[in-house]
Chains A and B, each alone.
Chain A
């Protein structure tokens, strides 16, 4: 069955540490890839997306993600986190299949950054 896996449900880091959140999906066809973020008390919002082209995409607030097709992965990275990055992060994969398209969200990763 089609699925999206986020490896870590909770991550705790100190400020200035590097971040990598994993996202893997199970689907061999064409995909659009997204990372969304939900800061405490705020709406879910887009962090970055990949539709085509350069597999290394840059988003807001210094985040980036790399699409590795052979590994079915779209991991999110940030070289140096800040306290304000404390949030819940969701990976989402749009799977295109003829006339039936499916968007699946991962379970989310809660990131806590300590000053």
Chain B
């Protein structure tokens, strides 16, 4: 399935809790991305990373944090500062940069209890 795995498939967050979404890839792609998908709004870029140990904010980075310690992994933490975290989160990769074809993972649905 494209070499990108996301876990868990469903995640529940309690008020005030930080949660971390996993994204792993075995495509040997340099760049990785996190998107948030809401009904009727398409995909919005949260963070992206073009190389290890470097990442950039996207359009809606507030309330989120990331790390890129390994080429294969790009975890996303949804912090308590994110006031509306309920959404479908998609991880994607490209071989090199943002303008190339994106390869998507299966997604994680985050729900707030």
Show the binding face of A for B, using Cβ within 8 Å.
4, 6, 9, 32, 34, 36, 43-46, 49, 90, 92, 94, 96, 101-103, 105-108
Contacts and interface: CB of A to CB of B under 8 A. Distances in A.
B106 A90 contact: no
Q: What's the interface size class on B, roughly?
A: 20 to 34
B2 A9 contact: no
Contacts of A49: 101
Contact of B98 (A4, A101, A107): A101
B66 interface: no
A96 B101 CA distance: 15
B43 A46 contact: no
B99 A94 contact: yes
Most chain B C-beta atoms within 10 Å of own C-beta, residue among A32, A44, A49, A101: A44
A16 to B, nearest CB: 29
A94 B90 contact: no
Contacts of B90: 44
A32 to B, nearest CB: 5
A46 B101 contact: yes
Contacts of B104: 36, 43-45
B99 A90 contact: no
30 contacts: A4-B42, A9-B40, A34-B101, A34-B102, A36-B102, A36-B104, A43-B1, A43-B4, A43-B104, A44-B92, A45-B104, A46-B101, A46-B102, A49-B101, A90-B42, A90-B43, A92-B43, A92-B102, A94-B99, A96-B99, A101-B97, A101-B98, A101-B99, A102-B98, A103-B99, A105-B35, A105-B44, A107-B40, A107-B41, A107-B42
B45 interface: yes
A103 B45 contact: yes
Contacts of A9: 40
A9 B45 CA distance: 21
